[in-house]
């Protein structure tokens, strides 16, 4: 798998868009894989008791999907340094989350780039934020 080189990047470069189908399997699988057994992320009854329609995605999974969106573009030699996200509308089963991102900043000193990203579902932005990564 080839990696994006720092020298090839420009401010404003768009990352390839991803469409992530949000299923019960992804929500529950992501919650358990992250050791987050809070009931609202795997038990529909508990989620409904909390006022939601169905189980909803936990933050670790959201973080992980943001990381994946960026490293799918950047490749194996990138090092993620920082993930800063703002949470918005919940991700519930049946949604499609569209991930978009662009290169916001480049820092020659440490060959890092800051990617600004958003993951949007039908109710608005599920997540917005930035990921800082060092590139070869």
Partner 1 sequence: MGLQGKEREAFEKTLEPYVGIEIGIKEIGRDEINQAMIRHWCEALDNELPIYTDAEAAADSMHGEIVAPPTMLQAWILPGMEMATGEPDPNDKQKELHRLFDDVGYTGVVATNTEQEYNRYLKLGDRVKAVTVIETISEQKATGLGIGYFINTKTTFTDQNDEVVGSMTFRVLKFEPSQQPAAAPTDDSGAPAKPTRIRPALAHDNQWWWEGVQADKFLIQRCEDCGVLRHPPRPMCGECQSIRWDSVEATGQGEVYSYVVIHYPEVPGYEYPLAVAVVDLEEPGLRFVTNVVDCDPEDVHIGMKVEAEVREMDPDFKMVVFKPIA
136 binding partner 1? (CB under 8 A): yes
Total residues binding partner 1 (CB under 8 A): 50
**CA-wise closest residue to 94 among 64, 131, 57:** 57
16 binding partner 1? (CB under 8 A): no
CA dist., res. 134 & res. 112, Å (int): 4
CA dist., res. 10 & res. 102, Å (int): 9
8 Å CB contact between 71 and 134: no
Helix boundaries (H) for 34-91? 44-49, 59-74
Q: Are strands 96-107 and 79-87 parallel, antiparallel or unpaired?
A: unpaired
Indicate which single residue of 86, 105, 107, 110 sits in contact with partner 1 (rule: CB under 8 A): 86
Q: Are strands 18-21 and 96-107 parallel, antiparallel or unpaired?
A: antiparallel
Minimal distance in Å, beta carbon 74 to partner 1? 9
32 binding partner 1? (CB under 8 A): yes
79 binding partner 1? (CB under 8 A): yes
**Per-residue x/- marks for partner 1, 43-72, CB under 8 A?**
x-------xxxx----xxx-xxxxxx--xx
76 binding partner 1? (CB under 8 A): yes
- Smaller CB separation from partner 1, 27 or 103: 27
8 Å CB contact between 92 and 22: yes
Residues that bind partner 1 (CB under 8 A): 1, 3, 26, 29-30, 32-39, 42-43, 51-54, 59-61, 63-68, 71-72, 75-77, 79-87, 89, 92, 94, 122-125, 136
């Amino acid at each position: 798998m080839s990696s994006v080189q720092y020298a090839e990047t420009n401010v404003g470069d768009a990352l390839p868009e991803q469409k992530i189908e949000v299923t019960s399997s992804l929500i529950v699988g992501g919650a358990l894989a992250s050791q987050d057994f809070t009931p609202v992320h795997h038990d529909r009854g508990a989620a409904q008791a909390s006022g939601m329609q169905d189980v909803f995605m936990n933050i670790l999974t959201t973080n992980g999907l943001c990381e994946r969106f960026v490293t799918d573009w950047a490749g194996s030699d990138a090092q993620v340094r920082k993930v800063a996200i703002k949470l918005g509308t919940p991700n519930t089963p049946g949604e499609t989350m569209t991930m978009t991102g662009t290169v916001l900043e480049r820092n020659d000193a440490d060959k890092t780039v800051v990617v600004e990203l958003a993951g949007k579902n039908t109710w608005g932005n599920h997540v917005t934020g930035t990921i800082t990564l060092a590139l070869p």
